[in-house]
Amino acid sequence: MKRGQDLIGLAVMDLEIGEEIGEVTDVFFDHQSQSILGLKIKKKKGRGEDFIPYEKLYSLGEDMIVIEDKTCIGKCQEEYQSLIDEGEVIGHKVISDQGEELGMVEDILLDDKGKLIAYELSEGLIQDILKGRETLTIDNTVSYGKDAIIIESSNRLS
């Protein structure tokens, strides 16, 4: 299991030419399909940010991400849901379908196949230290809205 924010800052290496081509700056995903779409990268050479589809990753390691070659890199799409860009997932309020405020999204958890499996929530620094962060599973009952993520009360992991 990986955390979304652990991917931010990882180097992207081109397997074909053995060259570091950039760094991950964001993670794009789709709440409907509960899957990672790809990674936003800032190239070492050139301007702007580009996109690598998740299925085009050769490997996703602890220290870097490897792609087969530069042909898998494309342009970012504005409609993608973003992990850290302003107004996106990090900091989003999470409430239960019973009207209980559960906290704010601090990170996402994903499996090795790029499937979004849980939200890591924070109730603030003091509560994080005293109780730890709560993890909520993601399944078909999740409603992702502009103001909040609404989750069924029975979906708590820890």
pTM of the model: 0.76
Indicate the domain borders of the chain. Answer: 2-82, 93-155
Residue 74 contacts residue 56 (beta carbons within 8 Å): no
CA distance 17 to 30: 31
Is the Cα torsion angle 43, 70, 1, 90 positive or negative in sign?
positive
Across the chain, which has 158 residues, the per-10-residue mean pLDDT values are: 88 91 88 83 79 89 88 72 70 84 85 83 73 71 74 61
User: Looking at residue 11, what DSSP letter applies?
Assistant: E
Roughly how many angstroms between the first and final C-alpha of the chain, as a whole number?
Answer: 15
Say if residue 41 is exposed, middle or buried (CB neighbours under 10 Å; 0-12, 13-18, 19+).
buried
**For position 87, what pLDDT does the model report?**
52
Fold identical between 2-82 and 93-155?
A: no
Q: Dihedrals φ, ψ of 84, to 5°? A: -115, -15
Is the Cα torsion angle 65, 115, 134, 127 positive or negative in sign?
positive
β-bridge mates for residue 158, sequence order: none
Q: Which CATH number fits domain 93-155: 3.40.50.2000, 2.30.30.240, 3.30.450.20, 1.10.1040.50?
A: 2.30.30.240
Token pair of 141 as six digits: 């009952």
Q: Does domain 2-82 sit in CATH 3.20.20.140?
A: no
**For position 78, what pLDDT does the model report?**
62
